[in-house]
Amino acid sequence: MAVNNLLEMKNVTKGFPGVKAIDKVNFSIRPGEVHALMGENGAGKSTLMKCLFGIYRMDEGEILLNGVKVNLSNPAQALNAGIAMVQQELEQVPHQSVMNNIWLGRYPTKGIFVKDKKIYSDTLDIIKDLNLAIDPKAKVSSLSVSTRQMVDIVKAVTYNAKVIVMDEPTSSLTKVETESLFRIIKRLKENGCGIIYISHKIDEVLEISDRVTVLRDGKWVATEETKDLNTDTIVKLMVNRELDNRFPEKTTNWGDVNLKVENLSTFYPPLLSDISFEVHKGEILGIGGLVGSGRTELLETIFGLRRKAGGNIYINGKELTLKPGKTAIDRGIVLLTEERRETGIFPLLDIRWNTVSSSIKRNTHKIGLVSAKKVRENTQWAIEAMNVKTVSMRTLISNLSGGNQQKVLLGRCLLREPDIMLFDEPTRGIDVGAKYEIYQLMLDLAAKGKTILFVSSEMPELIGVSDRILVMSNGKSAGIVDAKTATQEQILQMATKYL
Protein backbone atom coordinates (compact mmCIF):
# COMPACT_ATOMS: atom_id res chain seq x y z
CA MET A 1 0.00 0.00 0.00
CA ALA A 2 1.45 3.37 -1.05
CA VAL A 3 2.19 5.90 1.68
CA ASN A 4 0.48 9.27 1.20
CA ASN A 5 3.08 11.96 1.72
CA LEU A 6 2.13 15.24 3.32
CA LEU A 7 5.04 16.94 1.58
CA GLU A 8 7.38 15.98 -1.26
CA MET A 9 10.44 17.77 -2.59
CA LYS A 10 11.67 16.33 -5.88
CA ASN A 11 15.06 16.87 -7.54
CA VAL A 12 15.61 20.18 -5.77
CA THR A 13 18.73 22.03 -6.94
CA LYS A 14 20.08 25.36 -5.73
CA GLY A 15 23.38 27.00 -6.58
CA PHE A 16 25.27 30.08 -5.53
CA PRO A 17 28.18 31.75 -7.37
CA GLY A 18 30.91 29.13 -7.62
CA VAL A 19 29.11 26.37 -5.72
CA LYS A 20 26.09 24.07 -6.03
CA ALA A 21 24.64 24.02 -2.51
CA ILE A 22 22.14 21.21 -3.17
CA ASP A 23 21.99 18.95 -6.21
CA LYS A 24 18.83 17.02 -7.20
CA VAL A 25 17.79 16.27 -3.61
CA ASN A 26 14.60 14.33 -2.83
CA PHE A 27 12.84 14.58 0.51
CA SER A 28 9.37 13.71 1.82
CA ILE A 29 7.39 13.71 5.04
CA ARG A 30 4.28 11.82 6.10
CA PRO A 31 1.44 13.03 8.32
CA GLY A 32 2.28 12.59 12.01
CA GLU A 33 5.95 11.88 11.31
CA VAL A 34 9.19 13.31 12.63
CA HIS A 35 11.68 13.15 9.77
CA ALA A 36 15.22 14.09 10.80
CA LEU A 37 17.47 15.83 8.29
CA MET A 38 21.17 15.34 9.03
CA GLY A 39 24.57 16.06 7.57
CA GLU A 40 27.78 17.96 8.24
CA ASN A 41 27.84 21.75 8.22
CA GLY A 42 27.61 22.85 4.61
CA ALA A 43 25.87 19.62 3.55
CA GLY A 44 22.86 21.60 2.30
CA LYS A 45 20.27 21.04 5.04
CA SER A 46 19.42 24.68 5.72
CA THR A 47 19.55 25.53 2.00
CA LEU A 48 17.01 22.78 1.24
CA MET A 49 14.68 24.06 3.95
CA LYS A 50 15.06 27.67 2.84
CA CYS A 51 13.94 26.54 -0.62
CA LEU A 52 10.91 24.92 1.01
CA PHE A 53 10.11 28.04 3.02
CA GLY A 54 10.43 30.41 0.06
CA ILE A 55 13.55 32.18 1.31
CA TYR A 56 15.51 30.83 -1.66
CA ARG A 57 14.13 30.22 -5.14
CA MET A 58 15.00 26.77 -6.49
CA ASP A 59 17.03 26.48 -9.70
CA GLU A 60 15.36 23.14 -10.45
CA GLY A 61 12.84 20.78 -8.85
CA GLU A 62 9.31 20.90 -7.51
CA ILE A 63 7.43 20.89 -4.20
CA LEU A 64 4.17 18.99 -3.70
CA LEU A 65 1.90 19.60 -0.72
CA ASN A 66 -0.76 16.92 -0.27
CA GLY A 67 0.04 15.83 -3.82
CA VAL A 68 -0.51 19.28 -5.34
CA LYS A 69 2.40 21.23 -6.82
CA VAL A 70 2.98 24.57 -5.08
CA ASN A 71 5.17 27.55 -5.91
CA LEU A 72 6.46 29.20 -2.75
CA SER A 73 8.37 32.37 -3.56
CA ASN A 74 8.40 33.90 -0.07
CA PRO A 75 7.85 32.90 3.59
CA ALA A 76 4.36 34.45 3.68
CA GLN A 77 3.21 32.07 0.94
CA ALA A 78 4.78 29.14 2.80
CA LEU A 79 2.99 30.08 6.03
CA ASN A 80 -0.33 30.47 4.20
CA ALA A 81 0.23 27.02 2.69
CA GLY A 82 0.65 25.54 6.16
CA ILE A 83 4.46 25.38 6.40
CA ALA A 84 6.21 27.02 9.37
CA MET A 85 9.90 27.20 10.20
CA VAL A 86 11.75 27.65 13.47
CA GLN A 87 15.19 28.79 12.34
CA GLN A 88 18.44 28.14 14.16
CA GLU A 89 19.33 31.83 14.10
CA LEU A 90 16.46 33.58 15.85
CA GLU A 91 14.70 36.38 13.97
CA GLN A 92 12.81 38.37 16.58
CA VAL A 93 12.09 41.94 17.60
CA PRO A 94 13.98 41.95 20.91
CA HIS A 95 12.44 45.10 22.42
CA GLN A 96 8.89 43.91 21.82
CA SER A 97 6.92 41.57 24.07
CA VAL A 98 6.59 37.83 23.61
CA MET A 99 2.98 38.13 22.44
CA ASN A 100 3.83 40.88 19.95
CA ASN A 101 6.58 38.74 18.47
CA ILE A 102 4.22 35.78 18.17
CA TRP A 103 1.42 37.71 16.43
CA LEU A 104 3.51 40.24 14.53
CA GLY A 105 1.92 41.03 11.18
CA ARG A 106 -1.37 39.30 11.98
CA TYR A 107 -2.79 41.13 14.99
CA PRO A 108 -6.51 40.67 15.62
CA THR A 109 -8.09 44.09 15.28
CA LYS A 110 -11.34 45.91 15.86
CA GLY A 111 -11.43 48.65 13.29
CA ILE A 112 -8.03 50.29 13.42
CA PHE A 113 -7.33 49.18 17.00
CA VAL A 114 -5.36 46.09 18.00
CA LYS A 115 -7.22 43.79 20.41
CA ASP A 116 -4.52 43.59 23.07
CA LYS A 117 -6.62 41.57 25.52
CA LYS A 118 -7.29 38.91 22.88
CA ILE A 119 -3.59 38.74 21.93
CA TYR A 120 -2.68 38.27 25.58
CA SER A 121 -5.35 35.65 26.30
CA ASP A 122 -4.65 33.69 23.09
CA THR A 123 -0.92 33.69 23.78
CA LEU A 124 -1.43 32.65 27.39
CA ASP A 125 -3.76 29.80 26.34
CA ILE A 126 -1.20 28.40 23.90
CA ILE A 127 1.67 28.73 26.38
CA LYS A 128 -0.36 26.93 29.05
CA ASP A 129 -1.46 24.26 26.57
CA LEU A 130 2.20 23.60 25.77
CA ASN A 131 3.01 23.56 29.50
CA LEU A 132 5.57 26.37 29.27
CA ALA A 133 6.41 29.07 31.81
CA ILE A 134 6.69 32.24 29.71
CA ASP A 135 5.15 35.64 30.48
CA PRO A 136 3.37 36.89 27.31
CA LYS A 137 4.15 40.49 28.30
CA ALA A 138 7.86 39.94 28.92
CA LYS A 139 10.28 41.66 26.54
CA VAL A 140 12.07 39.15 24.35
CA SER A 141 15.38 40.91 25.09
CA SER A 142 15.00 39.97 28.77
CA LEU A 143 14.73 36.24 28.03
CA SER A 144 17.46 33.64 27.83
CA VAL A 145 18.36 32.26 24.41
CA SER A 146 16.63 28.98 25.25
CA THR A 147 13.38 30.72 26.21
CA ARG A 148 13.53 32.83 23.06
CA GLN A 149 13.84 29.62 21.09
CA MET A 150 10.69 28.33 22.78
CA VAL A 151 8.89 31.57 21.78
CA ASP A 152 9.64 30.83 18.12
CA ILE A 153 8.31 27.30 18.54
CA VAL A 154 5.10 28.70 20.10
CA LYS A 155 4.82 31.09 17.15
CA ALA A 156 5.05 28.21 14.67
CA VAL A 157 2.33 26.33 16.53
CA THR A 158 -0.03 29.34 16.33
CA TYR A 159 -0.05 29.12 12.54
CA ASN A 160 -1.78 25.72 12.77
CA ALA A 161 0.89 24.53 10.35
CA LYS A 162 0.76 21.02 8.91
CA VAL A 163 4.53 21.01 8.33
CA ILE A 164 6.93 22.54 10.86
CA VAL A 165 10.66 22.77 10.21
CA MET A 166 12.76 22.85 13.38
CA ASP A 167 16.39 23.83 12.68
CA GLU A 168 18.58 22.89 15.66
CA PRO A 169 15.70 23.52 18.13
CA THR A 170 17.58 22.19 21.18
CA SER A 171 20.93 23.89 20.55
CA SER A 172 20.48 26.08 23.65
CA LEU A 173 17.99 24.02 25.63
CA THR A 174 18.64 22.20 28.88
CA LYS A 175 17.70 18.57 29.30
CA VAL A 176 14.45 19.55 31.03
CA GLU A 177 13.58 22.06 28.28
CA THR A 178 14.41 19.47 25.62
CA GLU A 179 12.02 17.01 27.25
CA SER A 180 9.36 19.74 27.21
CA LEU A 181 9.99 20.31 23.50
CA PHE A 182 9.69 16.59 22.81
CA ARG A 183 6.31 16.57 24.55
CA ILE A 184 5.22 19.41 22.25
CA ILE A 185 6.48 17.48 19.20
CA LYS A 186 4.60 14.34 20.23
CA ARG A 187 1.41 16.38 20.66
CA LEU A 188 1.86 17.86 17.19
CA LYS A 189 2.39 14.37 15.77
CA GLU A 190 -0.87 13.21 17.30
CA ASN A 191 -2.60 16.08 15.47
CA GLY A 192 -1.19 14.85 12.15
CA CYS A 193 1.53 17.49 11.86
CA GLY A 194 4.74 16.56 10.08
CA ILE A 195 7.97 17.70 11.76
CA ILE A 196 11.20 18.17 9.85
CA TYR A 197 13.84 17.98 12.55
CA ILE A 198 17.35 19.27 11.78
CA SER A 199 19.88 18.42 14.46
CA HIS A 200 23.48 17.37 15.00
CA LYS A 201 22.57 15.65 18.28
CA ILE A 202 22.41 12.04 17.22
CA ASP A 203 21.03 10.75 20.52
CA GLU A 204 18.06 13.13 20.21
CA VAL A 205 17.44 12.12 16.60
CA LEU A 206 17.39 8.44 17.56
CA GLU A 207 14.92 9.23 20.35
CA ILE A 208 12.44 11.51 18.61
CA SER A 209 12.49 10.75 14.86
CA ASP A 210 10.73 8.15 12.73
CA ARG A 211 12.95 8.45 9.67
CA VAL A 212 16.35 9.99 8.95
CA THR A 213 17.62 11.52 5.70
CA VAL A 214 21.33 12.27 5.40
CA LEU A 215 22.85 14.82 3.00
CA ARG A 216 26.53 15.07 2.15
CA ASP A 217 28.14 17.82 0.05
CA GLY A 218 24.73 18.95 -1.20
CA LYS A 219 23.61 15.52 -2.34
CA TRP A 220 21.18 12.94 -0.99
CA VAL A 221 22.98 10.01 0.63
CA ALA A 222 20.29 7.90 2.31
CA THR A 223 16.82 7.83 3.85
CA GLU A 224 16.35 5.16 6.50
CA GLU A 225 13.87 4.17 9.21
CA THR A 226 15.30 5.34 12.53
CA LYS A 227 14.79 1.92 14.11
CA ASP A 228 17.35 0.53 11.65
CA LEU A 229 20.05 3.07 12.61
CA ASN A 230 22.47 3.70 15.45
CA THR A 231 25.06 6.35 16.25
CA ASP A 232 27.86 4.69 14.30
CA THR A 233 25.83 4.20 11.12
CA ILE A 234 24.57 7.79 11.17
CA VAL A 235 28.09 9.19 11.68
CA LYS A 236 29.45 7.07 8.83
CA LEU A 237 26.66 8.25 6.51
CA MET A 238 27.34 11.88 7.44
CA VAL A 239 31.14 11.99 7.23
CA ASN A 240 31.81 8.93 5.03
CA ARG A 241 34.33 7.60 7.53
CA GLU A 242 34.47 5.94 10.92
CA LEU A 243 34.70 8.27 13.92
CA ASP A 244 36.23 6.02 16.56
CA ASN A 245 36.51 8.54 19.40
CA ARG A 246 34.07 11.33 20.13
CA PHE A 247 36.73 13.38 21.93
CA PRO A 248 40.46 13.73 21.24
CA GLU A 249 42.91 12.42 23.80
CA LYS A 250 43.71 14.95 26.50
CA THR A 251 47.16 15.70 27.90
CA THR A 252 47.54 17.72 31.09
CA ASN A 253 50.50 20.09 31.26
CA TRP A 254 49.51 23.07 33.36
CA GLY A 255 51.70 26.07 34.07
CA ASP A 256 51.31 28.90 36.57
CA VAL A 257 47.95 30.45 37.44
CA ASN A 258 47.03 32.78 34.57
CA LEU A 259 43.55 33.95 35.55
CA LYS A 260 42.31 34.46 39.10
CA VAL A 261 38.76 35.52 39.95
CA GLU A 262 38.18 36.61 43.55
CA ASN A 263 34.77 37.23 45.18
CA LEU A 264 33.21 38.41 41.89
CA SER A 265 29.71 39.88 42.03
CA THR A 266 27.57 41.89 39.56
CA PHE A 267 24.84 44.53 39.73
CA TYR A 268 22.36 43.34 37.14
CA PRO A 269 20.26 40.14 36.96
CA PRO A 270 20.97 37.36 36.71
CA LEU A 271 23.22 38.36 39.61
CA LEU A 272 26.61 36.80 40.17
CA SER A 273 27.50 36.46 43.82
CA ASP A 274 30.90 35.89 45.47
CA ILE A 275 32.50 33.74 42.76
CA SER A 276 36.14 32.72 43.16
CA PHE A 277 38.35 30.38 41.12
CA GLU A 278 41.75 30.07 39.45
CA VAL A 279 42.72 28.83 35.99
CA HIS A 280 46.22 27.80 34.94
CA LYS A 281 48.11 28.27 31.72
CA GLY A 282 47.40 25.22 29.59
CA GLU A 283 44.14 24.43 31.39
CA ILE A 284 40.64 24.10 29.97
CA LEU A 285 38.05 25.05 32.57
CA GLY A 286 34.54 23.99 31.58
CA ILE A 287 31.60 25.96 32.98
CA GLY A 288 28.41 23.99 33.52
CA GLY A 289 25.01 24.65 35.03
CA LEU A 290 21.42 25.17 34.03
CA VAL A 291 20.32 27.92 31.64
CA GLY A 292 20.06 31.16 33.65
CA SER A 293 22.64 30.03 36.21
CA GLY A 294 25.03 32.83 35.25
CA ARG A 295 27.45 30.98 32.96
CA THR A 296 27.34 33.52 30.13
CA GLU A 297 27.26 36.43 32.57
CA LEU A 298 30.46 35.17 34.19
CA LEU A 299 32.33 35.24 30.87
CA GLU A 300 30.87 38.65 29.99
CA THR A 301 31.93 40.11 33.34
CA ILE A 302 35.50 38.86 32.95
CA PHE A 303 35.53 40.36 29.45
CA GLY A 304 34.24 43.70 30.72
CA LEU A 305 30.81 43.65 29.07
CA ARG A 306 29.14 43.64 32.49
CA ARG A 307 29.95 45.93 35.37
CA LYS A 308 31.31 44.40 38.56
CA ALA A 309 29.58 45.11 41.86
CA GLY A 310 32.50 43.68 43.79
CA GLY A 311 35.50 41.41 43.60
CA ASN A 312 38.67 41.39 41.54
CA ILE A 313 40.08 39.74 38.42
CA TYR A 314 43.81 39.09 38.11
CA ILE A 315 45.90 38.17 35.06
CA ASN A 316 49.36 36.81 35.86
CA GLY A 317 49.03 38.29 39.33
CA LYS A 318 48.12 41.80 38.14
CA GLU A 319 44.63 43.19 38.66
CA LEU A 320 42.60 43.58 35.48
CA THR A 321 41.39 47.17 35.27
CA LEU A 322 39.77 48.29 32.03
CA LYS A 323 40.21 52.04 31.70
CA PRO A 324 38.67 54.13 28.88
CA GLY A 325 40.23 53.11 25.58
CA LYS A 326 41.65 49.91 27.06
CA THR A 327 39.71 46.72 26.42
CA ALA A 328 40.01 43.12 27.52
CA ILE A 329 41.18 42.31 23.98
CA ASP A 330 44.16 44.62 24.56
CA ARG A 331 44.94 42.58 27.67
CA GLY A 332 45.03 39.33 25.70
CA ILE A 333 41.47 38.13 26.32
CA VAL A 334 39.01 37.18 23.57
CA LEU A 335 35.34 36.22 23.81
CA LEU A 336 33.43 33.97 21.43
CA THR A 337 29.76 34.76 22.12
CA GLU A 338 26.88 32.32 22.21
CA GLU A 339 24.73 34.13 19.65
CA ARG A 340 26.64 34.14 16.35
CA ARG A 341 24.09 36.15 14.45
CA GLU A 342 23.27 38.73 17.12
CA THR A 343 26.67 39.42 18.64
CA GLY A 344 29.20 37.63 16.44
CA ILE A 345 29.10 38.07 12.69
CA PHE A 346 28.72 41.14 10.51
CA PRO A 347 26.19 39.60 8.08
CA LEU A 348 26.56 42.19 5.33
CA LEU A 349 30.36 41.82 5.19
CA ASP A 350 32.42 39.06 3.60
CA ILE A 351 34.69 36.53 5.26
CA ARG A 352 37.71 38.84 5.05
CA TRP A 353 36.31 41.64 7.16
CA ASN A 354 34.60 39.28 9.59
CA THR A 355 37.99 37.63 10.12
CA VAL A 356 40.13 40.74 10.66
CA SER A 357 37.56 43.03 12.31
CA SER A 358 39.10 42.74 15.78
CA SER A 359 42.69 43.07 14.56
CA ILE A 360 42.54 45.99 12.13
CA LYS A 361 45.72 47.56 13.55
CA ARG A 362 47.61 44.41 12.65
CA ASN A 363 46.36 44.69 9.08
CA THR A 364 47.50 48.22 8.31
CA HIS A 365 50.51 49.90 6.69
CA LYS A 366 52.86 52.02 8.78
CA ILE A 367 51.03 55.12 7.59
CA GLY A 368 47.75 53.78 9.02
CA LEU A 369 45.97 52.60 5.86
CA VAL A 370 44.51 49.11 5.70
CA SER A 371 46.77 46.71 3.82
CA ALA A 372 44.78 44.59 1.35
CA LYS A 373 47.71 42.16 1.21
CA LYS A 374 47.78 41.64 4.99
CA VAL A 375 44.00 41.24 5.12
CA ARG A 376 44.18 38.65 2.35
CA GLU A 377 47.07 36.74 3.97
CA ASN A 378 45.53 36.70 7.45
CA THR A 379 42.12 35.66 6.13
CA GLN A 380 43.68 32.86 4.09
CA TRP A 381 45.54 31.70 7.20
CA ALA A 382 42.29 31.61 9.20
CA ILE A 383 40.42 29.76 6.44
CA GLU A 384 43.11 27.09 6.25
CA ALA A 385 43.69 26.84 10.01
CA MET A 386 39.98 26.48 10.73
CA ASN A 387 39.16 24.40 7.62
CA VAL A 388 36.40 26.82 6.55
CA LYS A 389 34.41 25.53 3.60
CA THR A 390 34.04 28.40 1.13
CA VAL A 391 34.71 29.08 -2.54
CA SER A 392 36.18 32.51 -1.82
CA MET A 393 37.21 34.75 1.05
CA ARG A 394 34.95 37.36 -0.59
CA THR A 395 31.87 35.24 0.13
CA LEU A 396 29.38 36.96 2.43
CA ILE A 397 29.59 35.30 5.83
CA SER A 398 25.78 35.14 5.91
CA ASN A 399 25.97 32.69 2.98
CA LEU A 400 28.02 30.20 5.01
CA SER A 401 26.54 27.43 7.12
CA GLY A 402 26.33 28.06 10.87
CA GLY A 403 29.30 25.82 11.55
CA ASN A 404 31.51 27.57 9.02
CA GLN A 405 30.46 30.95 10.41
CA GLN A 406 31.61 29.71 13.81
CA LYS A 407 34.97 28.67 12.35
CA VAL A 408 35.44 32.17 10.91
CA LEU A 409 34.74 33.67 14.35
CA LEU A 410 37.24 31.29 15.94
CA GLY A 411 39.78 32.35 13.33
CA ARG A 412 39.07 35.98 14.25
CA CYS A 413 39.82 35.16 17.89
CA LEU A 414 43.08 33.37 17.08
CA LEU A 415 44.38 36.25 14.95
CA ARG A 416 44.58 38.28 18.16
CA GLU A 417 47.06 35.71 19.53
CA PRO A 418 45.28 35.80 22.92
CA ASP A 419 46.45 34.28 26.19
CA ILE A 420 42.95 33.76 27.61
CA MET A 421 39.99 32.54 25.55
CA LEU A 422 36.39 32.70 26.71
CA PHE A 423 34.21 30.40 24.57
CA ASP A 424 30.43 30.47 25.09
CA GLU A 425 28.81 27.35 23.54
CA PRO A 426 31.55 27.08 20.88
CA THR A 427 30.02 23.97 19.25
CA ARG A 428 26.40 25.09 19.24
CA GLY A 429 24.68 23.95 16.05
CA ILE A 430 27.80 22.25 14.69
CA ASP A 431 28.03 18.74 13.24
CA VAL A 432 29.92 15.88 14.83
CA GLY A 433 32.91 16.14 12.51
CA ALA A 434 33.34 19.90 12.96
CA LYS A 435 32.88 19.53 16.72
CA TYR A 436 35.84 17.16 16.83
CA GLU A 437 37.94 19.74 14.94
CA ILE A 438 37.03 22.42 17.50
CA TYR A 439 37.76 20.07 20.42
CA GLN A 440 41.18 19.34 18.91
CA LEU A 441 41.81 23.05 18.38
CA MET A 442 41.02 23.77 22.04
CA LEU A 443 43.35 21.01 23.21
CA ASP A 444 46.13 22.20 20.87
CA LEU A 445 45.78 25.74 22.20
CA ALA A 446 45.92 24.48 25.78
CA ALA A 447 49.05 22.49 24.92
CA LYS A 448 50.63 25.80 23.84
CA GLY A 449 49.94 27.28 27.27
CA LYS A 450 46.73 29.12 26.47
CA THR A 451 44.02 29.43 29.13
CA ILE A 452 40.51 28.44 28.03
CA LEU A 453 37.14 28.88 29.76
CA PHE A 454 34.22 27.39 27.89
CA VAL A 455 30.52 27.20 28.56
CA SER A 456 28.57 24.20 27.29
CA SER A 457 25.07 22.85 27.79
CA GLU A 458 26.25 19.39 26.72
CA MET A 459 27.59 17.57 29.75
CA PRO A 460 29.40 14.82 27.80
CA GLU A 461 31.27 17.64 26.03
CA LEU A 462 32.18 19.33 29.32
CA ILE A 463 33.48 16.08 30.74
CA GLY A 464 35.20 14.99 27.53
CA VAL A 465 37.14 18.21 26.84
CA SER A 466 37.64 20.00 30.18
CA ASP A 467 40.35 19.46 32.76
CA ARG A 468 38.10 20.78 35.53
CA ILE A 469 34.47 21.93 35.57
CA LEU A 470 33.11 24.94 37.46
CA VAL A 471 29.40 24.36 38.10
CA MET A 472 27.17 27.42 38.38
CA SER A 473 23.89 27.46 40.31
CA ASN A 474 21.66 30.54 40.46
CA GLY A 475 24.53 32.99 40.05
CA LYS A 476 26.81 31.25 42.53
CA SER A 477 29.64 28.78 42.28
CA ALA A 478 28.45 25.35 43.39
CA GLY A 479 32.01 24.03 43.28
CA ILE A 480 34.69 22.75 40.93
CA VAL A 481 35.08 19.09 39.99
CA ASP A 482 37.78 17.10 38.23
CA ALA A 483 36.52 16.16 34.76
CA LYS A 484 38.29 12.78 34.96
CA THR A 485 36.06 11.61 37.80
CA ALA A 486 32.95 13.77 37.33
CA THR A 487 29.60 12.26 36.34
CA GLN A 488 26.59 13.88 34.70
CA GLU A 489 24.51 13.10 37.78
CA GLN A 490 27.03 14.84 40.04
CA ILE A 491 27.06 17.95 37.84
CA LEU A 492 23.25 18.08 37.76
CA GLN A 493 23.04 17.81 41.53
CA MET A 494 25.52 20.67 41.92
CA ALA A 495 23.66 22.77 39.33
CA THR A 496 20.54 22.71 41.54
CA LYS A 497 22.41 23.43 44.79
CA TYR A 498 21.17 27.03 45.22
CA LEU A 499 17.77 26.82 43.52
pTM: 0.66
What's the number of domains the chain is made of?
Answer: 2
**Residue 407 main-chain phi, psi, to 5 deg:** -65, -40
One domain, residues 166 and 124: yes
Percent of the chain scored above 90 by pLDDT? 44
Q: What pLDDT, on the 0 to 100 scale, is given for residue 1?
A: 38
The predicted-structure confidence for 179-203, as pLDDT tens digits, reads as follows: 878 888 888 898 899 999 998 888 8
Query: Is residue 246 in a domain?
Result: no
| Torsion (CA) 426, 428, 434, 435 in degrees, nearest 10 | 70
One domain, residues 37 and 177: yes
Longest distance between any two alpha carbons in the chain, whole Å:
75
Query: Is residue 197 in a domain?
Result: yes
Q: What pLDDT, on the 0 to 100 scale, is given for residue 244?
A: 59
Q: What pLDDT, on the 0 to 100 scale, is given for residue 249?
A: 85
The predicted-structure confidence for 403-460, as pLDDT tens digits, reads as follows: 788 889 989 998 888 999 999 988 876 777 778 888 998 999 999 999 999 999 888 8
Whether 2 shows a pLDDT value over 50: the answer reads no
One domain, residues 204 and 262: no
One domain, residues 267 and 235: no
Q: What pLDDT, on the 0 to 100 scale, is given for residue 406?
A: 86
- 205, 239, 273 - which closes a domain: 239
Supply the mean pLDDT for the chain. 87
Query: Is residue 248 in a domain?
Result: no
Whether 240 shows a pLDDT value over 90: the answer reads no
Query: Is residue 141 in a domain?
Result: yes
One domain, residues 222 and 270: no
- 209, 239, 269 - which closes a domain: 239
One domain, residues 230 and 285: no
One domain, residues 48 and 129: yes
Average pLDDT over residues 15-22: 79
Query: Is residue 91 in a domain?
Result: yes
The predicted-structure confidence for 359-411, as pLDDT tens digits, reads as follows: 888 888 888 888 899 999 999 999 988 888 888 899 999 888 777 888 899 89
Q: What pLDDT, on the 0 to 100 scale, is given for residue 260?
A: 95
Q: What pLDDT, on the 0 to 100 scale, is given for residue 52?
A: 93
- 183, 204, 239 - which closes a domain: 239
One domain, residues 317 and 222: no
One domain, residues 195 and 275: no
CATH number, domain containing residue 346: 3.40.50.300
Domain containing 293 equals 257-495
The predicted-structure confidence for 147-191, as pLDDT tens digits, reads as follows: 888 888 888 888 888 999 998 888 767 677 788 788 888 888 988
One domain, residues 224 and 267: no
Q: What pLDDT, on the 0 to 100 scale, is given for residue 139?
A: 93
Query: Is residue 2 in a domain?
Result: no
One domain, residues 272 and 230: no
Q: What pLDDT, on the 0 to 100 scale, is given for residue 468?
A: 96
Higher-confidence position of 472 and 130? 472
One domain, residues 205 and 302: no
Query: Is residue 78 in a domain?
Result: yes
Q: How confident is the model at residue 479 (pLDDT cuts 50, 70, 90)?
A: very high
Query: Is residue 67 in a domain?
Result: yes
The predicted-structure confidence for 82-136, as pLDDT tens digits, reads as follows: 999 887 767 788 899 999 999 988 888 888 888 889 999 999 998 888 778 899 9
